[in-house]
Amino acid sequence: MASTAAKLPNSSVRIMEQRAQCSLVHSTTYALSTGKIGRINHMAKHLPEFTPEQVDAQVDGLLTGQSPASPDQEMISHLSQIYRDDERSLAKAWQRLELENYQFKSAEEQWQTEPITPQPDSANDTFIERNSPTTERRVERNFPTRHANKRASSRILTQLAAACFALLLVGSLLVVLRLVHENQLSSGSSGQQAIYASDDTHLFKLDSHTHQVLWQRELNKILKIIPAGNAVYILQASWADIHTNAVSSLDASSGKTLWTHALSPQKQDNQVIVRDMILAQGRLYVDWQSRNTNDALNLNAAKKAQIDVLNPADGKLITALPVKTDLWNMAAGNGILAVSTAYGFQVYELATGKLLWHKIFQASTNMPVASLKVSAGLIYAIVSHPESTIRAYKADTGEQVWQSHAFADNQIYSLTVEQNIVYFGTTLYPPVGQKKPTTGSIYAYDIKRNKQLWSIPVAGATLHPPALSSGMLYICADSGVADNLAPAPAHVIAIYAASGKIKWQRTLPENYVSGFALSHETIYASTYKVTENSVVPGNTYALAASNGNIQWEDNQHRFLTHVVAP
């Protein structure tokens, strides 16, 4: 190295001295970038450190007339070389792919146009010559027939499998669409918003928007209607004709009878009295009793009373709960069944039919409990004798937790409960023989605070349960009993549930309301009149719950008994 430096001119020596002014960090970086890591020689104390490799590179640069490349330039050079290599590799890959594609197509055409002939074993080997000067890889043009056949067959089988899968997928889709279409057809009118109404001889299903008849059935003496999904359950009751007493299930879309469960006495001289029917926890409960026709006037002379538990799907009797007294109405909820009797009411466990507890009231009537309601773990009972009160009991233990103010007997007929607030109406009839109108009042009680929230007077009797929706309470007030000497027009009233203020009131031409229901923000009311000689059917009205406007009125079917909305 010293001899080489001695031969250089002074300017070159100065350049070398200047180039030698590199730091230890620079030299280390260069060594790492080039892969030439050697021992670092320490120069004089006043000179920077450098490596022999750096000196050689600088000398080579001077001899060739070029300065040595910096580490960054070296890195860029390496990267450029890598990119060039990648471009060549990519070009070679595309050439190979095109060659393979050409050979595959040629073999497929040959398989489709020429007969397959046996090939020698040597032909089954692919000769590949590597490092060709032109393409660096040459594949024999004699593509293996066996491999071509396998690939072509595999491709055809794949296409066949794909076609079969497509057919299966399309077929499944068609089946699903057909089932959906059939389900829509079968549900048909059941998917529509509809109401059910009955007169003395027929059951009707009406479109709730147009009151068009969707279907009708000839059914006598309908006591109760329960719509539930794709079925509607009908309870028929007649004292005169024992064959009429039955429970039936009808298809909601067509009205076709699905099954019938007859309620027949065990003896010919017995009379069947059917009281009520409810649907709870997937079962139908029907309470009824039979008595000897000679004891028809003796209301406490029940020979047999029971609660039939039916399977709603087929009407078969699951079990029967025997009761030792007359039965009236029922209510269910929170896993229990409450039944009013001639002496009070009894509470059963729905799952097992076990009698949990009962209440007895001293009264001069065989119907001391006019109505029952189960809500939020409490049973609400309207006790009508000797005074009218509403009492609340714990459903599981029978402990009484609340009682309303006392009213005159037979003044409270029904109630509605929401979030421990009880809404009910009272009816005050004029003294017998006096031609005065019937009056009533509506009350709201908070049973937790044992506080009356509000009360308002209404013109008429409040016999139907109040309907509650979206903070509004809807009630109907009519002339009450049929022998009212001063019948007045019936009213439908909308009341703010929180304050008791009246929002609107609709007066109807008729005096009595036989059916009252609320569904989908529409109020339905069927009406009639009572004259000195007969009962005259009135119209059925659909009122907008928001303002009481009449949406439609029906004067063709003359409903007398029920209007029920799902």
Percent of the chain whose predicted confidence (pLDDT) is above 70: 61
Closest CA to 327 of 365, 287, 372: 287
Q: Give the DSSP H/E element, type plus range, for residue 539.
A: strand 535-544
pLDDT value, residue 160: 67
What average pLDDT does the segment 82-110 reach?
57
In this structure, of 292-296, 297-301, 388-392, 508-512, the range with the lowest mean pLDDT score is 297-301
Cα–Cα distance, 402 to 451 (Å, whole number): 11
Q: What is the pLDDT of residues 57-68, one digit of tens each?
A: 555 555 444 445
The answer to whether residue 321 scores a pLDDT higher than 70 is yes
Evaluate if residue 455 carries a pLDDT over 60: yes
pTM: 0.65
| Res 129 pLDDT > 60 | no
Domain end marker among 37, 68, 99: 68
Q: How many domains does the chain have?
A: 2
Say what the pLDDT of residue 16 is: 41
Q: Please indicate, yes or no, if residue 48 is contained in any of the structural domains.
A: yes
Most confident of 313-322, 522-531, 556-565: 313-322
Distance CA 393, CA 405 (A): 16
Confidence tier at 102 by pLDDT (50, 70, 90): low
Residue 163: burial class (beta carbons within 10 Å; 0-12, 13-18, 19+): exposed
DSSP string, 88-105: HHHHHHHHHHHHHHHHHH
- In this prediction, residues 131-159 reach a mean pLDDT of 50
**Domain range spanning residue 60?**
2-68
Q: Which of 39, 68, 97 represents a domain boundary (last residue)?
A: 68
Q: At how many degrees (to 10) do helices 71-113 and 145-187 cross?
A: 80
**pLDDT surpassing 80 at residue 484:** no
Over pLDDT 90: what percentage of the chain? Answer: 45
Residue 84 half-sphere exposure toward CB, CA atoms < 13 A: 6
Sequence-separated (6 or more) residues with CB below 8 Å from residue 71? 26, 29, 30, 33, 34
Residue 203: pLDDT above 90?
yes
pLDDT at residue 390 greater than cutoff 80: yes
Neighbour tally for 159: CB within 10 Å: 10
Pick the residue with more confidence: 324 or 517? 517
Question: What's CA 482's distance to the chain center, in Å?
Answer: 44
Measure CA 144 to chain center: 62
Note whether residue 387 is domain-resident.
no
Residue 483 within a domain: yes
Q: List Cβ neighbours of 177 (8 Å cut-off, separation of 6 or more).
A: none
pLDDT band for 155, please (50, 70, 90 cuts).
low
* Averaged pLDDT, 526-539: 86
Among the candidates 51, 68, 85, a domain finishes at 68
Out of 113-117, 403-407, 427-431, 482-486, which region has the weakest mean confidence (pLDDT)?
A: 113-117
What are the tokens at 232? 């509607």
Q: Is the pLDDT of residue 376 over 80?
A: yes
Average pLDDT over residues 419-425: 95
Q: What are phi and psi of 12, to 5 degrees?
A: -70, -35
| Residue 282 predicted with pLDDT over 90 | yes
By CB atoms closer than 10 A (0-12, 13-18, 19+), residue 230 is: middle
pLDDT at residue 409 in the model: 79
| Mean per-residue pLDDT of the chain | 76
393 found inside a domain:
no
pLDDT digits (tens, 9 = 90+) for 1-41: 444 444 444 444 343 444 444 443 334 333 333 444 433 34
The pLDDT value recorded for residue 507 is: 96
**Residue 416: burial class (beta carbons within 10 Å; 0-12, 13-18, 19+):** buried
Q: pLDDT at position 555, please?
A: 86
- Cα–Cα distance, 113 to 208 (Å, whole number): 72
What pLDDT score does 430 carry?
84
DSSP 168-221: HHHHHHHHHHHHHHHHHHHHGGGGS-EEEEE-SSEEEEEETTT--EEEEEE--S
Residue 13 has a pLDDT of: 39
Task: Give the confidence band of 240 by pLDDT, cuts at 50, 70, 90.
Answer: low
> Residue 345 — very low, low, confident or very high, per pLDDT cuts 50/70/90?
very high
* Cross-strand partners of 469: 472
pLDDT for 435 equals 82
Residues 232, 214 contacting (CB under 8 angstroms): no
pLDDT digits 0-9 by tens, 248-275: 999 999 999 999 999 877 665 577 888 9
Q: Is residue 404 included in any domain, yes or no?
A: no
CA–CA gap between residue 283 and residue 228 (Å, rounded): 11
Q: Which tokens hold the place of 78?
A: 């390496």
Q: What is the predicted pLDDT for the residue at 363?
A: 74
pLDDT: which is higher, 129 or 83: 83
Taking residues 67-76, what's their average pLDDT?
56
Cα–Cα distance for residue pair 171/370, rounded to 1 Å: 60
On the question of pLDDT at 43 being above 50, the answer is no
Report the CATH number at residue 534. Answer: 2.40.10.480
pLDDT band at 52 (very low <50, low <70, confident <90, very high): low
- SS3 category, 414: strand
Q: Give domain status of residue 364, yes or no.
A: no
Please provide the DSSP assignment of 9-46 as one string. -HHHHHHHHHHT---HHHHHHHHHHHT---PPBP--TT
C-alpha distance from residue 412 to each of 47, 408, 428, 493 (Å): 115, 9, 9, 18
Mean pLDDT over residues 132-138, rounded?
42
Task: Give the least confident one: 55-64, 129-138, 422-431, 445-454.
Answer: 129-138
540-549 mean pLDDT: 96
Which range has the worst mean pLDDT, 9-18, 50-59, 287-296, 321-330?
9-18
Report whether the peptide linkage leading into residue 386 is cis, meaning its omega lies within 30 degrees of zero: yes
- Is 328 part of any domain? no
- 3-state SS string for 366-400: CCCEEEEEEECCEEEEEECCCCEEEEEEECCCCCE
Greater pLDDT, 499 or 301: 499
Determine, yes or no, domain membership for 554.
yes
Name residue, tokens 């009595």. Answer: 512
Alpha carbons 429 and 426: distance in angstroms, whole number: 10
Dihedral over Cα of 302, 560, 529, 552: its sign? positive
